[in-house]
Amino acid sequence: MPDQALPGSPATLHDAYGRHLTYLRVSLTDACNLRCVYCMPEDITFRPPANLMRDEELLTLVRVAASLGVEKVRLTGGEPTVRPGLVALVRAIRAIPGIRRLAMTTNGVRLAELAQPLAEAGLDQVNISIDSLDGDRFRRITRRGDLQEVWRGIDAAEKAGLAPIKLNCVVTRGYNDDEVAGLARITLDNPWEVRFIELMPFGSVAGFQHDQVVPSAETRARIEAALGPLIPEPGYDSHAPAQRYRLPGARGQVGFISTITAPFCEGCTRLRLTADGRLLLCLLRDDEADLLTPLRAGANFVALQRLMAEAAYRKPWGRGREEHEGETAREMSQIGG
Ligand code: SAM
């Protein structure tokens, strides 16, 4: 099977709006060792392993994407660190020609043991989710997590040289919106980026409503009231997924991801591969293309390139979350954020 695009086959992934798609987020599993309230129902049933991509299948699809110009891959989930054989998989993905950057989004629970082997296998950077600095609250939000494990994971990631370290915080009214200044304060002494993510109120997650979304502007105002003005970082781009700022004198940065109040569709370069082998074209919509079924039916590399390129071309403009409120068929845990 050839690893590179052949003459006559599509050369790159781009869509009808002229966006060039170079970033693939790969969900390794929909399973998770936490049950965050805004992400999944407590009694969720995960997909049977037979429905998920096997390692070789996943690697083939990443090779196809890389042959079409994808340069950055982010591993996510569910929780990527609960996938068996993760370190070997990371090594294999990093070895794919064209992949220049390999990142992971994780809850950090297993990072104390895994950060070093993952770094040695070629993982470049991690985003670690941390929604509260209070152990009891953290457990309430995650329904089972131990905050100290996450801190040990962050520490291990830093020691392993995974950089930059980004900490993800989903701001949810009534859960942690009063803590955002404390979370931002972390950046004063640490060279990390703390990113505040607007809650996406997926209709399927019990009880989460639009009024629990805390707009980034409100989060920002709270932080500035407590800690002083946030200064836009050089290269600030209002179309980028995260708007980056710095507190005066801080070692790290504060970022805002405003999927609800300021969608960044114009600058979107992303495609998502779900753990069951579907190319999901937009976080805010259900449009997807099944790649695993053709792969299992014997589609060759060139056929998969065509399928991927044709699907990518159909990538929708995601703005319009309001019209689609609560209608996306997949849980966040099945998409990977
Ligand atoms: N388990 C990993 C983790 O905790 O980071 C990776 C998967 S998780 C789905 C990826 C990111 O999506 C996390 O930062 C999580 O907080 C965020 N997330 C989950 N549900 C969300 C929602 N309804 N709205 C906004 N962000 C959400």
* pLDDT for res 209: 77
Q: Which atom of ligand 1 is nearest to the CA of 32?
A: 1
Averaged pLDDT, 160-172: 97
Indicate the pLDDT class of residue 211, thresholds 50, 70 and 90.
confident
DSSP letter, residue 46: P
- Please state, for a pLDDT cut of 90, what percent of the chain lies above it: 79
* pLDDT for res 24: 98
- Please state, for a pLDDT cut of 70, what percent of the chain lies above it: 93
Helix (H, G, I), strand (E, B) or coil at 271: strand
* pLDDT for res 199: 93
Distance between CA atoms of residues 175 and 14, nearest Å: 39
Whether 270 shows a pLDDT value over 60: the answer reads yes
Averaged pLDDT, 264-285: 93
Averaged pLDDT, 221-237: 93
Cα-to-centroid distance, 55 and ligand 1 (Å): 23
Cα-to-centroid distance, 196 and ligand 1 (Å): 11
* Residue 261, Cβ density class (10 Å: 0-12 exposed, 13-18 middle, ≥19 buried): middle
Q: What predicted TM-score, i.e. pTM, was given to this entire model?
A: 0.94
Distance between CA atoms of residues 150 and 306, nearest Å: 41
Nearest of 170, 174, 210 to residue 333 by alpha carbon: 170
- pLDDT-wise least confident of 44-58, 103-117, 120-134, 230-244: 230-244
Averaged pLDDT, 26-47: 94
Residue nearest to atom 11 of ligand 1 (CA): 337
Cα-to-centroid distance, 337 and ligand 1 (Å): 5
278-336: per-residue pLDDT in tens?
999 998 888 999 999 999 999 999 999 999 999 999 999 886 545 545 556 777 777 77
Q: Which atom of ligand 1 is nearest to the CA of 205?
A: 23
149 contacts 113 by C-beta, under 8 angstroms: no
**Of 331 and 273, the one with more pLDDT:** 273
Averaged pLDDT, 266-273: 94
Whether 239 shows a pLDDT value over 90: the answer reads no
* pLDDT for res 52: 96
* pLDDT for res 324: 47
Best residue among 36, 167, 280 to mutate for probing ligand 1's pocket (most ligand atoms within 8 Å of CB) is: 36
Cα-to-centroid distance, 265 and ligand 1 (Å): 19
Indicate the pLDDT class of residue 10, thresholds 50, 70 and 90.
confident
Best residue among 39, 106, 212 to mutate for probing ligand 1's pocket (most ligand atoms within 8 Å of CB) is: 39
Reported for 173-177, long-range contacts at CB under 8 A and 24+ positions apart, including other chains, are 173/199, 173/211, 173/212, 173/213, 173/214, 174/212, 175/37, 175/131, 175/132, 175/137, 175/140, 175/141, 176/131, 176/132, 176/137, 176/141, 177/214, 177/218, 177/219, 177/222
* pLDDT for res 1: 41
User: 3-state SS string over 169-197?
Assistant: EEEECCCCHHHHHHHHHHHHHCCCEEEEE
Cα-to-centroid distance, 305 and ligand 1 (Å): 29
Helix (H) or strand (E) holding 137: helix 135-142
Q: Per-residue b/e over 63-72, b at no fewer than 16 CB within 10 Å?
A: bbbbbbbbeb
Which residues lie with the beta carbon below 6 Å from any ligand 1 atom? 32, 38-39, 76-77, 79, 105-107, 129, 168, 170, 197, 199-200, 202, 332-333, 336-337
Cα-to-centroid distance, 131 and ligand 1 (Å): 10
Helix (H) or strand (E) holding 262: none
Distance between CA atoms of residues 261 and 253, nearest Å: 21
Q: Which residue has the tokens 């790159």?
A: 12
89-127: per-residue pLDDT in tens?
999 999 999 999 999 999 999 999 999 999 999 999 999
299 contacts 317 by C-beta, under 8 angstroms: no
Cα-to-centroid distance, 100 and ligand 1 (Å): 24
* pLDDT for res 9: 62
